[in-house]
Structures are given as C-alpha cells and as structure tokens.
A and B are shown apart, each in its own frame.
Chain A
Amino acid sequence: MKIVNVTHGSFYAIGAYAAASLTGAWLSRGYPPMLSYAVMVAAAILVAAPFALFIERVVLRPLYARDEVVILLVTYALFLVLEDTIKLIWGVNPYYIAQPYALLGSFQVAGMAYPTYNLVLVAVALLFGGGLAWLLHGTRAGKLLLAVIHDPEVSRAMGVNVGRYYMATFALGSLIAALAGAFTAPTVSVVPGLGVDVIVLSFAVVVIGGLGSLPGAAIGAAMVGVVRSLSVHYMPQVELFVIYFIMAVVLAVRPRGLFSLAEPRKI
C-alpha cells in the first residue's frame, strides 16, 4: 500500500499480550492444553482486529492523499498512543506462557536438543509467506489489489472499491503481525517495549529485501536471522550493530533493496 507502518510493531505487541494473557487464563482453568494453540490464534485475531479496523477507518483513511512520509509520521504517532494503551490494558508486568512451547517437546539434531515448537514456527511462517504470495498473484482479489496499489485513481475509475481494498489489506497485514506476536509469545517473556524492538528489526528486513516484495522479505528475514545468530555465537558485541550494517551495505549496493523492481522517474 506504499505505507511504511510503524504501528505494525504495536500490533505485534498486542498479539503477543492478547495471546499470553488469554492463553494463560485458559491454562490456569485447567482446560485441555492442546487447544491452547487455537486460543492463541483466536485471541490475537479477536483483540487486534478492532484496533486495526478503527485505525484504518478513522485515522488513516482521511490521510491517504498525503505524502508517504506524512503517513509514516502518522503511524509513528499511533505507535506512541498504542504503546501506552497496551500498558494501560495489560500493565507493565511481564507475562509468561511457556506451556505451548514445552508441550511439543524437542528432538535431537546432531546431539543437540532442538525445540519442536521452533520448527513448527518456521513451517507456519513458510505457510503464511506462500499463502500471501498465492493470494497476491493467484487470485482475482490479489491481482486487483496490485492494481489498486499501482494506481488507485484508475482502479476507482474501473469500478474497484478502493476503500475496501485498503481496509482489507491493512487489516490483514495487522492481523498477521498480531499472529506473529502471538506465536512468539510462548518463546519470550512478554514485556513493554516488545513492539519497539521488533519494528526496527522488521524495517531492516523489508529494506534489505526491497519494500513491497514478498520473496525479498523472506530472504531478508533469513539473512537477518542467520547473521544475528552467527554474531551472537562468534562476536556477541556486534549483535545489534551487524544487522543495520548489512542494511546499510545492501542499500549502498542496491539502492532499493535486493528484490525491488526499477521505478520510473516522474518528470
């Protein structure tokens, strides 16, 4: 949608908090732990959806005509607001739900225990990536969306309900962020500031991959993940630094990211 969305980090945090608190409540009542995964997903979607719809409908819609950079600032403002909203709703104490993580057990790889949950997470991520690619390039709605992004005015003239496409896209994007937060919640402690950390990282990822490119995002994420783990393993002092360093290098060589298309200059 040509929106650089800082609020995305907040949705990640909202998803994580919703999943952690509701799944925690579910498990403490002694309900079947295997169903807790369903609760996680449902919690993230149900809690994040109203936020996403409200933000798109009320705040972003009147501002689409403004500059890309202005929209970035708007989402930054929303991010500040949501950050405190999260604190108001869930407080500042950390939440832990380790059960879904431990439940799947672990398996042995070359003599090291590896948690199955992480493997499932990778599969889920691939599934989402594939699903999104199919949605965008394989369905009528996806192709229409690409057209809308390319030129909203002409699309509107052709009879496409542009407003609805914007809303659906923003909601879908936010829900995926919330789900990502929900899936990550069992592996970390859910604390304030979760959103801040993830948003700068994901910016690095999408910029490395090229804004608006799905395979780019996947490869960027893989690069950032691998390089980060390597640096944690070999040179822990450069952990934070190395990600942005890669981003700067990639941008220096490919100014629009690895998988970006050439853009015509407007005269």
Chain B
Amino acid sequence: MKHDRTTTIIIAAFVLLVVLGKLLPQWAMFIMTVAFARGLVVLGLLLLLRAGLVSFGQALFYCIGAYAAGGLGRFFGISDIFLEMLVGGALAGVTAFVLGFLLARYRGIFFGLLSLALSMILYGLLVKTEALGSTDGFNILPSTLFGWRPDAEWVRYAVLVSAAAVAAFAAMLVHRYLQTPLGRLAPAIKDNEIRVEYMGASARRAVHVKYVIAATLAGIGGALAATAVGHIDPEMAYWTTSGEFIFIAILAGTGNVVAPFVGAALYGAIHTMAYDLSPNTWQMSLGIALLALIVFLPEGVWSLTGKFRARHS
C-alpha cells in the first residue's frame, strides 16, 4: 500500500496559509474564505457522490447553516464564528437526520429531485417569511472570535484562518472516515447495492449516515459563508446554488478530500474571471467550462495528479 500523505499535505497547507495569509490583499482573503465555505459543502457532496448519489439540494443545509448563524446574531446578539458554525452545523445535521429516513430510500435521479424539492420548500418558506427579511434577507453582525473583536483590518484574516482551521479539521476527519468500513462501503453502494446487502451491510443506513455528515458540513459551510459575506438571503436555498456545488464537485473530482477545496478555489477564480471578462455572459462561460470538464476530465481536476504521478514513477 502506498504511503498516504493527505494529512501531511493538509497540515502543511494550513500552516502555509496562516503564515502567508496576512500578506494577501483583502479581496483575495475574502474569495478564499468563501472558497473554504463552498469547499466544506462540496466535501459533504463528495461523500454522497462516492456512493453514486447526486444531491441537487445541498443548498438546503447551506441555507440552514447561514440562517442559523444569522439568527444567532439577530435574536441573541451572538456573533462568534465558531459558535455560529457549531449551531449551523448541528441544526443542519439534525434536519438531515430527520429527512434522512425519507431520503435514504431513494437512488439516482429520484434522490436528486427529492433533495431539490426539499431545498425549494425552504426557499419558498423563507421568501414569504417577513420576520427573516423575506427576499431581501438580512445582514449579519461583524464576526468575533471567542469574545474578541478583531480590528477592521484583521477581521478578514481572522475569519480566513478560522475557516481554514475548520476546513482542515473537517477534511482530516472525512479522510479518516473514508477508511472506516462504513466509509469504504460507498463505492460498493454505487456499483451494486444488492450485493452490499448480501454482505450483511445496510446500504440504507450507510446512505443515511453519509447524508447527515454531508448536511452537517454544508451547515458549517453556510454559517461560514454567512459571516464572511455579512449578508444572507433565501437565494442561498435556491436550486441554482445546489447546482453550483455540484459544478465544483465535478470540477474537483472525488478522488481526495483536498480536491473539494482546490475545486472551490478554482471555481472562485473561474467565476471571478468570467465575471471580469464578460459580465453579461458569465453563465455561458461557466456552462462551457462545465461541459468541457465533463467531456475531457470526467474524473475532475484531481485526476490530473494521478496522471502526473503515474508519469513520474
């Protein structure tokens, strides 16, 4: 078995970011924080994708996380980043635990469409809820860290480092999970579910667990995005947001837990560049990029590392 360097890479990348992060311009810090938030959601999506499930409704948990973070500030005056992420993730996880009893029975297109419907239910509810700002959403309190309020020029950096820490921690946990028997069941469920059942494992339970983990990660990502952007609105639960996450997952590939974050950063770059080059047709650029990826790099950008390694060994 080849030596696994994933954990080392994650820790090295985190240390590098903490050291060099302060040198980044403010806008780059912001883009990277959002990339970490999206990466967390996609990390959860990766778990589901490995089991052959495409959730077109991760936006549901993303939005729950964001609104949990927003609600903490609005109703309790709490603006601590870690508390927001904790509550956002927990709320999303509990929701997924309940919905999981329903969703774990579905596969393929039906899983995707049902999860889409669930996220659209939340969208429909939020749009009509005046107390939560309806379509406009509302603003989030400036972030604090364990009761400490960083100066204006340090806020972005503090948020970025917190995001990176949480992302690194989550990535390592998921990496460990993928090596447990339950985690290794995923490709088997994708290939042939009935044989999984013959082996004595419960595919439904495995899917349920993955769904809850994915939702928790999405909730944390949502809370993170909320405090980074400083504003939330129902658009976060709309199905195109879920489409964005799936785009990143396809872009990244499901080969490694680091891939989602690389994918999210790349997506941020493509998105920003497309917007910069052609503000009116950025969707078209994204669509063409997605098409090209599906045709030429079906395993995602991450598969390039494997090809590279194969050539050099």
Contacts and interface: CB of A to CB of B under 8 A. Distances in A.
Interface of A: 4, 59, 62-63, 66, 68-70, 72-74, 76-81, 83-85, 87-88, 196, 200, 203-204, 207, 211, 237-245, 247-248, 251-252, 255-256, 265-267
B286 A80 contact: yes
Interface centre among A4, A63, A84, A203 (most CB of B within 10 A): A84
Contacts of B239: 200
B291 A244 contact: no
Q: Which 9 A-B pairs have the closest CB atoms?
A: A80-B287, A240-B124, A241-B124, A84-B284, A81-B287, A77-B290, A237-B128, A244-B117, A77-B287
16 contacts: A66-B298, A69-B54, A73-B54, A73-B246, A74-B294, A77-B288, A84-B287, A203-B116, A207-B110, A207-B117, A238-B128, A240-B128, A241-B121, A241-B128, A244-B120, A244-B121
B215 interface: no
A66 B195 CA distance: 22
B284 A81 contact: yes
Contact of A200 (B120, B282, B284): B120
A229 to B, nearest CB: 16
A63 to B, nearest CB: 7
Interface stretch (B32-40, B101-109, B143-151): B101-109
A76 B110 contact: no
A59 B290 CA distance: 12
B125 A241 contact: yes
Given A63-B294, A76-B290, A81-B288, A204 B127 contact: no
A196 B240 contact: yes
Interface of B: 54, 102, 105-106, 108-110, 112-114, 116-118, 120-121, 123-125, 127-128, 192, 194-195, 239-240, 243, 246, 250, 280-284, 286-288, 290-291, 294-295, 298
Nearest to B121: A244
Contacts of B118: 244, 248
A77 B112 contact: no
Contacts of B287: 77-81, 83-84
Contacts of B128: 237-241
Nearest to A6: B243
Contacts of B286: 77, 80
Contacts of A248: 102, 114, 117-118, 121
B298 to A, nearest CB: 8
A88 B117 CA distance: 31
B288 A251 contact: no
Contact of B291 (A59, A84, A242): A59
B232 to A, nearest CB: 18
A204 B120 CA distance: 11
A244 to B, nearest CB: 4
A79 B116 CA distance: 17
A69 B294 CA distance: 11
A131 to B, nearest CB: 26
Contact of A62 (B109, B114, B195, B295): B295
A136 B8 CA distance: 59
A47 B127 CA distance: 35
Contacts of A244: 117-118, 120-121, 124
A34 to B, nearest CB: 38
B294 A77 contact: yes
